[in-house]
Structure 1
Amino acid sequence: MSKKTVFITGGAGFIGLHVIPLLLEKDYRIRIFDNMSRGDRGRVNELVATGNVELVEQDVRYGGAVHNAMKGCSHVIHFATVSINKSQADPYESIDINMVGNNNVFAAAADHGVERLVFASSASVYGDPKKLPMHEDDELNPLTPYCISKRAGEDLLGFYQRSKGLSWMALRFFNVYGPGQKIEAYYTSVINTFIQRLRSGQPPIIDGKGEQSMDFIHVTDLAKGVVAALESEQDNMPVNIGTGVDTSIAQLTKILIQAVGTDVEPIFNPRDVLVSRRAADITRAREVLGWEPQITVEQGMNELVKNQAR
């Protein structure tokens, strides 16, 4: 029996490169579809050398390219996106890649009759939450072109489900961090920036009072959630992928100061912050995917600091 092939847009990026090894362990073949503008070419070349991974260097904005490259694939994971901060600086590119790209990938998946499509949605679809933890059925209030495109992506999946029977899962990623992440990643760049400052003996600078919080999910745990969604018996719903723990920026700073082993006090910079607090309700992830996170924030941050020291 021929191996099943997973088509992964943006597969050469941070999260994709953590998901692919898990899929290879499960004996899938992989077709990475990536324009390589931010991809890790060295790592992709290593994966291609295994014989079970191929790279199609193309852009999700071109529907014909997406459709042709997806031929023969049984599953789709759609990661390709423009980051949240870039979407505010350049809404045109964001709408082009995130909206047109979403539609190209979803339409092709529906036309090819794939078994399952997993979409990287985002916790940012909730906007500033009215209550914690944030549940999938809560009101959505996306605030930027990026967040709006993620919500629209979920709605588009519903359209292709109704019109063509597409089977999908939309994973609302919370604040992903871990080894291999670029320092400019929007929400979690705070981790890398704090570590860099601490290593050079400088105090971290915290916006506001440091009461704003995030739900930091380690990329290793998140990757397992993606694979679980690809193979879950249930489908056609959004699922939060987080830890359920809200870690304030002030707490994060303490954890990192301890992990780096330095003795400084943070500086507080008075300014407004966009989203005040975040924590995922992960009941659905447990019940539907049989998934829950294993890595605590303390463990993950300590490991990140050790890896960066190498």
Structure 2
Amino acid sequence: MKKILVTGGAGFVGTNLIEELIKDKNNIVTSLDCYFTGKKENHIDGVNYVEGFTWEIDKIFESNDFDIIYHFGEYSRIVHSFDDINFVSESILRGTPKVFEFAKKCNAKIIYSASSSKFGNNGKDENLSPYAWMKAKMVELLKNYNAWFGLQYEISYFFNVYGPKQIYEGNYATVVAIFERQFKNNEKLTVVKPGTQSRDFTHVTDIVSGLIAIENKNLNNEWHLRSGKNVTIIELAQMFGDWTLIEERRGERFTSEEFFSDTEELLEWKPLISIEKWIEIIKK
């Protein structure tokens, strides 16, 4: 039997991942979530859901150990990280080192969801927002934990994930979800100026299949889970219908960088769902 912990397991990506993990009857899955954006309606039968903060992980699981830890339980928005900087710091700079230390104690392999925001603007976007900077520092720390203590890891970079169970309302809604909601409500889509910002939109099903493939690797590697196609926000809006421009936001990332990656070759993995195909389904 394989004991797996998913932090952020009641959230968007975590729930989709758990749905796949429990298909293997050899997996015993536990979720740790503080429900900042996670939802209890995402709970799945057969999974042990624990409510708590990652910085308390050692106390929460003092009598437990795990073989694999998927660490998704961090604050995950760029623009709003300026206003939420105290919680961003607690979540990432306080919580994530505790998760790494707990993984070391358990002798568990950790699969960490890093942020693709650091690749924008030839790497300069690493310092564009509190979120991007803190996430980049945790990548450095995780690599050092491997060098210092032998902690086994795989780092996965998500590129603008969308799909079932994404957040549709509030400050933490994704752009695809916002456009989908506005389209269904017969509203004009609100495109943040200038609208030429580009993103690499990747369906959550492809993210999950990539994560399952990563779990089976032991390379201490960085993996880029992406569709491989950049789309501007205006182009995305045009796929849905009418749109209008709204004011620019602080911390807005302008480019999703195109760069060489051997992820597809080494993982024997390819994304299967395009953003165009997803929007066609929504519009029908």
TM over 0.5: yes
1:239 pairs with 2:232: no
Structure 1 portions without partners, runs of 5+: 131-137, 258-264
**Counterparts of residues 95-134 of structure 1 (less than 5 Å):** 95-114=89-108, 116-126=109-119, 128-130=120-122
Q: In the alignment, is the contact (CA less than 8 A) between 1:8 and 1:79 conserved in 2?
A: yes
In the other structure, the counterpart of 1:14 is 12
Q: Which has the larger radius of gyration?
A: 1
Shift of 1:54: 0.9
Match of 2:261 in 1: 283
Amino acid at match of 1:243: S
Asked whether 1:267 is paired with 2:244, we answer: yes
Which residue of structure 2 lines up, in the alignment, with residue 294 of structure 1?
272
Cα offset, 1:140, TM superposition: 6.7
Shift of 1:66: 5.0
Q: 2:55 is paired with a residue of what secondary structure?
A: coil
Query: What is the root-mean-square deviation of aligned Cα atoms in Å?
Result: 2.3
| 1:258-300 Cα distance to aligned partner (Å, 9 max, x none) | xxxxxxx422346477222214546321133222211011112
Q: Which runs of 5+ in 2 are unaligned?
A: none
Deviations 1:55-95 (Å, cap 9, x if unpaired)?
Answer: 222211224325526x2311010000113244211211111
The answer to whether 1:55 aligns with 2:33 is: no
1:139–1:147 distance in 2 versus 1, CA, 3 Å: closer
Change (3 A) 1:158 1:298: same
CA 1:25–1:57 in structure 2 vs 1: closer, same or farther (change >3 Å)?
Answer: same
Q: Which runs of 4+ in 1 moved over 6 A?
A: 185-188
* Distance (Å, rounded) in 2 between the aligned partners of 1:219 and 1:267: 27
CA contact (8 A) 1:240 1:281 kept: no
Does residue 88 of the first structure (1) align with residue 82 of the second (2)? Answer: yes
Please give the secondary structure, in 2, of the residue aligned with 1:30: strand
SS, match of residue 254 in structure 1? helix
Q: SS at the partner of 1:240?
A: strand
Instruction: Return the offset for 1:43.
Output: 2.9
1:102 partner amino acid: T
Matched-pair contact (CA < 8 Å) for 1:243–1:279: no
1:29 equivalenced with 2:37 (yes/no): no
- How far 1:10 sits from its partner (Å)? 0.7
Q: Once the two structures are aligned, what percentage of the paired residues are identical?
A: 25
**Aligned to 1:255, what secondary structure does the other structure show?**
helix
The TM-score, its normalising length taken from structure 1, stands at: 0.82
> Residues 132-171 of structure 1 correspond to what in structure 2 (within 5 A)?
141-171=126-156
- Classify 1:272/1:56 alpha carbon distance in 2 versus 1 (closer, same or farther; 3 Å): closer
Q: What does residue 175 of structure 2 align with?
A: 190
The alignment of Structure 1 onto Structure 2 pairs a total of residues equal to 281
Could you give the per-residue CA deviations for residues 233-262 of structure 1, whole angstroms, max 9, x where no partner exists?
A: 42x2222111110011121112122xxxxx
Q: Distance in 1 between matches of 2:273 and 2:164?
A: 13
C-alpha displacement of 1:18: 0.5
- Asked if the contact 1:121/1:150 (under 8 Å) is kept, the reply is yes
Picking from 158, 172, 193, the partner of 2:157 is 172
Inter-partner Cα distance in structure 2 for 1:100 and 1:83: 15
**Residue 305 to residue 104, structure 1, CA distance change in 2 (3 Å):** farther
Q: Does 1:254 align with 2:241?
A: no
Separation in 2 of the partners of 1:272 and 1:300?
Answer: 27
Cα drift, residue 189 of structure 1: 2.6
8 A Cα contact 2:154 2:218, kept in partner: no
